[in-house]
Amino acid sequence: MEPDVLPRPPEPPLRDVRVLDLSRLLPGPFCTLILADLGAQVDKVEDPHVGDYLRLFPPHRNGLGGRFCALNRSKRSLCLDLKQPAGREALLRLLPRYQVLVEGFRPGVLDRLGLGPKDLLARHPSLVICSLSGYGQDGPYRDRAGHDINYLALSGVLGLSGADPKDPPHPLPVQLADVGGGALWAAVGILAALLAARRTGCGRHLDVSLCEGALSFLLPDFGQLDAGAPDPVRGQELLTGGAACYGVYRTACGRYLAVGALEPKFWLAFNRALGRAADPAELLAPPAEQARIRQEIQAILGQRSRDEWEQVFAEVDACVEPVLSLQEVRQHPLHQARGLFFSTGGPDPVPQVRTPLTPRDPTATPPPRLGEHSEQILAEGGFSPAEIEALRQSGVVR
């Protein structure tokens, strides 16, 4: 009998795609991290003086901000001053080598530099350009400053956060608009546009608004609203604290359990494990009854520690899990078994976290030093050593 032969790992799907990343901070770099994990060569274009601001934010690891290290594995850094004509000319000379350009400037900034989407597509019709902005490339808010909390506020997401309608909405613990509303939608749009460009030879300009991206997560809620449902109330809906079967409960040790026993079979199994008599009709009980049921469950769960309850529910199919801190997440057996945490290669490995699209056996390179690959990238673009040195002497390149 022939021994089993493991199939060769497939080539990365974007191994022949080059991305020029003009963005900084969170949304753009998270998007290009996804593309890099899929095999694309991502080259960051950074200001020669500061570069991506996340480099500076503490705490630091070997001189690089922790957030920067997490978002910029397997990328290269090219320092190029786009405010100088020679810097813009260098970018245009490099551009034919790339299929994708990602940018996160205020709308109109690249146009004023002569590097706007129309200018770039006129030179390179197959280029995919993705612009990430808070409120979109047009409309009355195109020039308005904003942060994640502002985009969530105008999208309707923030108004639904929090446990009590009498209290103010509570800021979310993750940058949902930046990452979910911006980076993920941008990555999806870029992948689709690349397919179209290969089929037709025509690129396009993607206008990704972080506010609209966050709003898109409320599609089911707007469907409910359009079907006649009342405006949802913070902390009182089925999935936001209004039902005893779906929420967070405190245990004896001061830590918490997350309960998601929405379906009758899970609700009954959950209550059996508690030693509490239950009826599936409780799932549809009115608000006052839900509050009473919640108090009963809280009184029972408050009698044991989180770890003790975790052992109880390990053998019960009831949708109950411990609420973990970030340090606990690293050690959890599920994430250990799935290989979510790994390190880059090199003499000084940098801890990293897999996304759902990161290969299960990742071979990532460390995040780049500012301008670490400037000479290499320019040489690949056809610049001679003398030209590179001239750009360096003029302060255009670092």
**DSSP secondary structure of 194-254:** HHHHHHHS--EEEEEEHHHHHHGGGHHHHHHHHTTPPPP-TTTSTTTTSSTTEEEEE-TTS
Question: What would the two tokens of residue 29 be?
Answer: 């770099």
- Other Cβ atoms less than 10 A from the Cβ of 340: the count is 18
Q: Residue 256 class from Cβ within 10 Å (0-12 exposed, 13-18 middle, 19+ buried)?
A: middle
3-class SS shares of the chain: helix, strand, coil, % to 5: 40, 15, 45
Question: What is the C-alpha separation between 141 and 144, in angstroms, rounded?
Answer: 5
Helices (H), 62-137: 66-71, 85-94, 109-112, 117-123
C-alpha to C-alpha distance for 381 and 308, rounded to whole angstroms: 61
Q: Could you give the CA distance from residue 176 to residue 30 in angstroms, rounded to a whole number?
A: 12
Alpha-carbon distances, residue 238 vs 232, 247, 280 (angstroms): 10, 9, 15
Task: Tell which residue, 36, 34, 121, has the closest CA to residue 77.
Answer: 36
Q: Is 348 one of the annotated active-site residues of the chain?
A: no
Active site residue 178: yes
Q: Which of 16, 138, 143, 147 is catalytic?
A: 147
Choose the catalytic residue: 52, 178, 207, 373.
Answer: 178
| CA-closest candidate to residue 149, choices 124, 121, 166, 170 | 170
Contact between 309 and 318 (Cβ < 8 Å): no
Catalytic residues: 147, 178
